[in-house]
Structure 1
Amino acid sequence: MNSIRTIKVTEEFHERPKGRYITDAPGCEKTAGEVFRKNILVDALNDNDAVIVDLTGYNRYGRSFLDEAFGGLIARAGFTKAELDKKLTIKHDFVDLFIEIAHERIEAAEGKRRTHE
């Protein structure tokens, strides 16, 4: 396999992603980080050698969405930071802060995973 999958979040998931869990508020069953992770991101990571998540197109990602989508890969989906470092690229053409927060949440989840080993 030498496949690379690019996921354009605002085109393939929702134009205004928000929320952590499906149950956070009405509409979150379509917009939450939990839904993005479970329905799109986990399969993409399992089925491809590399995954690029393109956050461009929306400039109001909340920490809760980013934490659940990306930190949740470790906390709930069983990935390790080492696996994600090899396979996952997160980008946004205009707002680097979203990339930084996503990586911070991955790092924090990895720290918790290691303390529970």
Structure 2
Amino acid sequence: MNISIARDFSPYPHGRTSKDGEFSGERFRTEVLEPMLRRALDQHGVIQIDLDGVKALGSSFAEEAFGGLIRLAIAPSEDVREAIKVRYTKPWLRPVAENIENYMRDAAER
């Protein structure tokens, strides 16, 4: 299973909640990420999150989408974290990918 944030959601994802705009982390989580995660967990699959193509990806978007996914407690946090794999080819996206991992880990520790 694959999600390209730029192609499947927006090349300009931003903001935490739907009040922050149409392409918020909350909307991405509820409309794209959560439904696919439920399918992946049912099928023991993995979701590849492709960051390529985004023009920017703010911390509030990423924390709400991915940290928020852990806080939903759909499944044990370890299972959710194992089901999400972040992919990128542009070097500038490495810190974004690392932040996503950190947001999920931090949410699991709370």
Give the structure-2-normalised TM-score: 0.87
More helix by share: 2
Q: How many residues align?
A: 104
- What is the percent sequence identity of the aligned residues? 27
Once residues 76 and 63 of structure 2 are traced to their aligned partners in structure 1, the CA distance between those partners, rounded to angstroms, is 15
Superposed, 1:1-117 pairs within 5 Å as 5-24=1-20, 28=21, 30-48=22-40, 49-76=45-72, 78-94=74-90, 95-112=93-110
Q: Distance in 2 between matches of 1:23 and 1:8?
A: 23
Structure 1: any 5+ residue segments left out of the alignment? 113-117
Per the TM alignment, residue 79 of structure 1 is displaced from its structure 2 partner at its CA by: 3.8
Larger radius of gyration: 1
Seen in structure 2, the aligned counterparts of structure 1 residues 63 and 79 have a Cα distance that, compared at 3 Å, is farther
Residue 78 of structure 1, CA deviation: 3.3
Gapped regions of structure 2 (runs ≥ 5): none
CA root-mean-square deviation:
1.3
Please report the TM-score for the alignment, with normalisation by the length of structure 1: 0.82
